[in-house]
């Protein structure tokens, strides 16, 4: 603790990201990065943008990027907000839509979920409650049908990878229309992994983007780090009612009016336009996920049903900490969350077929 910190800084418990090793000796299955490279069209677009225009500020409204997202997602540009990664978009959303202070109604998010949510809540002084997951680790939407200050959850959930049916998401959004005395309680659905829910038609059906007109209090948040293979570019976006987007813009412009740089915008626009490439690599990830899941179950491992680009896995005998150490000693990095109910599980990113075969070899040898 530093004497220079204010009380808010001293009370923070920052998010801890997955390990990023500085050498190449590990098979890296710990941070849900895509095992396949970005589209060549994206790389070329970034190269073309790296010219004398870098002396100029980027477009603060991200108009061209928002138009590209709107075209791909079949919404209006005015319903799109772009930011420096989905984490920043989420931070802005917490600040824009959830009330802080002891007298504020608590927001709701699952007891086992993305660990940045309590960090944001503490940062902005927002009270919260955490309904427990069911015995099978699923989210029960009925737990979120009560008056509160707002709702946020990933779909698919992280780190479990399990999906809430679209009709249940709609039920949560419908219930919270007019619940907080200001018109609506906002429901944020974090769709970081939605593109791995199945084929293109299945993804379209699963995404809550289709319900933003029906439910103006519904905001979906997206990232290009996972399915677009652009974790190093730091680009995310939100889709929702124009009033929600305006609220995000107000927070952004009170913090940093230029969060998305020229290179990121160029890469993001190109990624939005190369749907065929990304649908192909997403199908490859999903096929590998299903193959590895089946192999682990046959070996006797517990594997939760995943709609994401990772698996949540429990060894038949070893504790999560023990198996994490075994994999690490074999040169394979995965993620271990030493928390209640999930301490014996490991989150394993789906890598290439060769990487997952190496993982399965260690799994088979350690039974």
When the pLDDT of each residue in the chain is averaged and rounded to a whole number, the result is 95
**Residue 284 in this model has a pLDDT that exceeds 80:** yes
Does residue 180 surpass a pLDDT of 70?
no
pLDDT band of residue 6 (cuts 50, 70, 90) is confident
The pLDDT of residue 7 is 84
Do residues 315 and 366 touch, judged by C-beta distance below 8 A?
yes
Q: What percent of the chain has pLDDT over 90?
A: 88
Domain extent listing, the chain: 17-37+276-365, 40-273
Residues in Cβ contact with 5 at an 8 Å cutoff, skipping those fewer than 6 apart: none
Pick the CATH number of 40-273 from 3.30.70.2860, 3.40.50.2000, 3.40.190.10, 3.40.640.10: 3.40.640.10
At 279 the pLDDT is: 96
Residue 338 has pLDDT above 90, yes or no: yes
Joined together, the tokens standing for residue 309 give: 């680009």
The position carrying tokens 């603060």 is 60
Q: Which residues contact 276 (CB under 8 A, 6 or more apart)?
A: none
11-15, 86-90, 261-265: which range is least confident on average? 11-15
pTM of the model: 0.95
Q: pLDDT, tens digit, for every residue of 293-307?
A: 999 999 999 999 999
Give the helix/strand (H/E) hosting 71: helix 63-73
Q: Are 291 and 62 in contact (CB under 8 A)?
A: no
Confidence of residue 8 (pLDDT cuts 50, 70, 90): confident
| Nearest to 337, CA basis, from 133, 160, 123 | 160
| Average confidence (pLDDT) over 163-181 | 87
Mean pLDDT in residue range 201-218: 93
C-alpha closest to that of 38 among 268, 347, 244, 292: 268
Own/partner pairs, 17-22, CB within 8 angstroms, 24+ separation: 18/333, 18/335, 19/333, 21/333
CATH architecture of 17-37+276-365: Alpha-Beta Complex (3.90)
CB 41 within 8 Å of CB 274 = yes
Per-residue pLDDT at 183 exceeds 60:
no
Instruction: With beta carbons less than 8 A apart as the criterion, state whether 189 and 221 touch.
Output: yes
Q: At what angle do helices 275-299 and 353-365 cross, to 10 degrees?
A: 10
Give Cβ neighbours of residue 326 (< 8 Å, ≥ 6 apart).
318, 362, 366
pLDDT digits 0-9 by tens, 14-65: 878 787 887 778 999 999 999 999 999 999 999 999 999 999 999 999 999 9
**d(Cα 312, Cα 324) in Å, to the nearest integer?**
13
**d(Cα 227, Cα 248) in Å, to the nearest integer?**
24
Of the candidates 15, 20, 49, 40, the residue with the CA atom closest to the CA atom of residue 32: 20
Which pLDDT score, from 0 to 100, does residue 181 have? 52
């Amino acid at each position: 603790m530093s004497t220079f910190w204010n009380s808010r800084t001293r009370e923070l418990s920052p998010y801890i990201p997955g390990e990023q090793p500085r050498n190449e000796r590990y098979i890296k299955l710990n941070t849900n990065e895509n095992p396949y490279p970005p589209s060549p069209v994206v790389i070329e677009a970034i190269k073309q943008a790296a010219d004398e225009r870098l002396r100029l500020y980027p477009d603060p409204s991200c108009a061209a990027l928002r138009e590209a997202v709107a075209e791909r997602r079949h919404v209006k540009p005015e319903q799109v907000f772009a930011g420096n990664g989905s984490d920043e978009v989420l931070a802005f959303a917490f600040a824009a839509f959830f009330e802080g202070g002891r007298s504020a109604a608590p927001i709701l998010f699952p007891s086992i979920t993305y660990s940045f949510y309590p960090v944001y809540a503490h940062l902005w002084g927002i009270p919260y409650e955490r309904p427990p997951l069911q015995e099978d680790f699923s989210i029960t939407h009925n737990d979120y049908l009560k008056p509160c200050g707002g709702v946020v959850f990933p779909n698919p959930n992280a780190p479990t990878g399990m999906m809430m049916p679209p009709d249940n998401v709609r039920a949560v959004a419908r219930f919270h229309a007019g619940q907080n005395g200001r018109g609506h309680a906002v429901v944020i659905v974090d769709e970081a992994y939605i593109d791995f829910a199945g084929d293109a038609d299945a993804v379209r059906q699963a995404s809550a983007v289709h319900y933003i007109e029906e439910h103006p209090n519904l905001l979906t948040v997206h990232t290009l780090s996972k399915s677009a293979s652009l974790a190093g570019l730091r680009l995310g976006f939100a889709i929702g009612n124009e009033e929600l987007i305006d609220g995000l813009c107000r927070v952004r412009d009170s913090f940093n009016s230029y969060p998305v740089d020229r290179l990121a915008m160029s890469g993001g626009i190109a990624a939005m336009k190369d749907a065929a490439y990304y649908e192909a690599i997403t199908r490859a990830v999903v096929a590998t996920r299903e193959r590895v899941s089946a192999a682990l179950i046959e070996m006797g491992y517990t594997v939760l049903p995943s709609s994401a680009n990772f698996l949540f896995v429990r060894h038949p005998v070893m504790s999560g900490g023990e198996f994490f150490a075994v994999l690490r000693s074999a040169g394979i990095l995965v993620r271990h969350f030493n928390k209640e109910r999930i301490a014996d599980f490991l989150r394993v990113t789906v890598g290439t077929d060769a990487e997952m075969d190496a993982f399965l070899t260690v799994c088979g040898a350690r039974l």
